[in-house]
Amino acid sequence: MGTSRLVLLAFGLLAEAHKKVAYRFVQLTDIHMEPFYNPHNGHNKGDVCRVDEAFNKSQCIPFRIEPEASIYPFGRLNCDAPHALMRSLFKHIETVATEVKKKGALFGIFTGDIPSHQLSCQRHQGKTIEFVVSHMAKNLKPVLGKIYPLMGNNDFFPNYNVSLEPNSAWQELVASIYEANGLLGGPQLETFKRGGFYSAEPVKGLKLIALNTVVWSQKVLDWESTQTKEVVDIPAVDEATWSGPNAPIPVADISGWSWNTDVVSHKELWPCEKRPRDPYGQLAWLEAELRAAREAKQRVVIAGHVPPGNKVGDNNFCVQYLRDLTRLVRENADLIEVQIYGDHSNDEFRMVWSDDKGEAHAVSSVLVSAGVTPRKHCNPSWRLFEVTEDHRVHDFTQYYLPLVATDIVWSTKPEWVKLHREGKDELLSSKFWRKQYSFREQYGVGLSPPELEMLWVKMQSSPKLLKDYLAQMFSQTVGVHDYFDYICDMRYLDEEENEECYKRGRLLSAAPPPVAVEAIDFAEVDHENTGPKYVQIHPAMLGSLIGCLLITTGSTLYLFVRSRAASKDVYLQMP
């Protein structure tokens, strides 16, 4: 960073840190609700936690929401989210939102992925989407006012079966579910039907550009070339009104749609070279939207599901789309306040950099939020962003549910267990959510590209800082991979450069201090008792708790061992 840029940055930071927050928005992502939730055997079978009948890939049973689970009531690590977790989450957002609404405007952005992974058939996918969207409309819309939804890769069936042609039947179906629930309408509905994208002005002067980045993914399924087979379809007698003994919640009908019973037996992906240059004309549209924002003097927030750059060793986008997006972002970096994404189930940030060969600098902040499902992850989470009057995204606060501890404490109180069984637990369970961190408090800087760049530079010489970053990620892969890849991910969105960085960079010295596992104080939940009583702990639960501790401790050890083998000066060696 040059001296003049540093001075400018210092003044900017001083001015920014004292700005007043004018409005806020919620980011919710990767809900992955498991309708057939059964946590008893964990994810041992097919990587999902599901009742046997629904797991059988040869049949499509009547859709239902499983009755409340007797163990792991709010979710289990490595499992997708049960209904009770969604209830708890929506109630918690409502509580926080009701409070902050008194201080300014509020809206919500949902960055995609409603259903759990690997559902057996299209009907289950559609019904799960409908179920969750109707609950969003009922429980979140009244308090958030407006929720802007996006398409995730699991909002298609099968996963990543996104059509490269505009106005596919499935895209229109999902659009109509959002429309029927009052979440989308007007011109937004039209482009969402076309390809899952739209723009909006949630607050005067702020433009939200909602993208379908799934279609740019390398993993898009080529349905025509994929080998398929048919499942035995077993719908309920009248699924429109069906609410049998196992379905406490009646599931509404999606009228006029006949469910496809084909599933994948051997999948084929669309090679990047064979893709249309600009599916749905989304890139051309984006360019026009940015031009219009410039003319209208709006600030821009870009939202998508799959983020640009790397995900555990693979590039997310086909290179041509990555370059197109990068070019548009660079050209309009002065307008774009921040980009927000999901998909990774990891809390991460990265940057788009300028292409100056000599002195590249960060020009756009790309924030990846971890999301609700605990499937790859220690804990469910969501974010609340704060924005100043001039539409600067000032900070975000991340809330999380300490899952293992919540499950354990919950099962010690018979009256709570009863509430859960009756599906009326959200008022209490929402009180178990905690503030995880605020970005500014944690790192001492805001979210602008130069500030993230500064943080990135500092991370390379401060093991403590990198440790903090990893602790916030809550990822179970911590300790397995070389941490250096995260530093590369922040800097290089392009696959080749990223690999080059990863090959040449290395960890050098200084072990971070041991990770302290935070004790959770449930006193405010449980007024009668002085503290939680740890009785009746299910052995499997204890297993997860120990597992979580081991991961954290293991990663510390790993860093320690690595550091011993290296020299003392710097922590990380950049290429």
Ligand X SMILES: *[C@@H]1O[C@H](CO)[C@@H](O)[C@H](O)[C@H]1NC(C)=O
Q: Which residues contact 192 (CB under 8 A, 6 or more apart)?
A: 171, 175, 178, 184, 198
CB of 41 to ligand X, least distance (A): 15
Question: How many whole angstroms separate alpha carbon 175 and alpha carbon 203?
Answer: 23
The first and second tokens of residue 192, run together, are 């969402």
- CB closer to ligand X out of 59 and 553: 59
CB nearer to ligand X: pick between 165 and 521: 165
For residue 269, the minimal CB distance to ligand X (Å) is 13
In the numeric block, the tokens 């109707």 are attached to 134
Lookup: tokens for 512? 């971070």
CB of 159 to ligand X, least distance (A): 10
Of 96 and 254, which has the nearer Cβ to ligand X? 254
Least CB distance to ligand X at residue 277 (A): 19
Angle (CA) 94-97-103 rounded to 5° is 155
Nearer to ligand X, 56 or 388 (CB): 56
Q: How far is the CB of 148 from ligand X (least distance, A)?
A: 24
Distances from the Cα of 371 to the Cαs of 30, 37, 104, 342, in angstroms? 5, 18, 25, 7
CA separation for the pair 365, 454 (Å, rounded)? 12
- Chain residues binding ligand X by CB under 6 A are 56, 58-59, 122, 157, 161, 163, 168, 170, 223, 232, 260, 262
Evaluate whether 368 touches 334 at the Cβ level (below 8 Å): no
Query: What residues form DSSP beta bridges with 59?
Result: 232
Cβ proximity to ligand X: between 259 and 437 the closer is 259
- Lookup: tokens for 549: 């501790």
Q: How far apart are CA 243 and CA 63, in angstroms?
A: 10
Torsion 550-553-559-565 (CA) sign: negative
Comparison of 114 and 338: residue with beta carbon closer to ligand X: 114
How far apart are CB 161 and ligand X at their closest, in Å? Answer: 4
φ/ψ of 258, rounded to 5, equals: -105, 130
DSSP state of 345: S
Strands (E) located in 185-240: 198-203, 206-210, 227-230, 232-233
Nearest approach in angstroms of CB 489 to ligand X is 31
Residue number with CB closer to ligand X (169 or 535): 169
Nearer Cβ to ligand X (223/321): 223
Least distance (Å) from ligand X to the CB of residue 167? 10
Q: How far is 150 from 141, CA to CA, in rounded Å?
A: 15
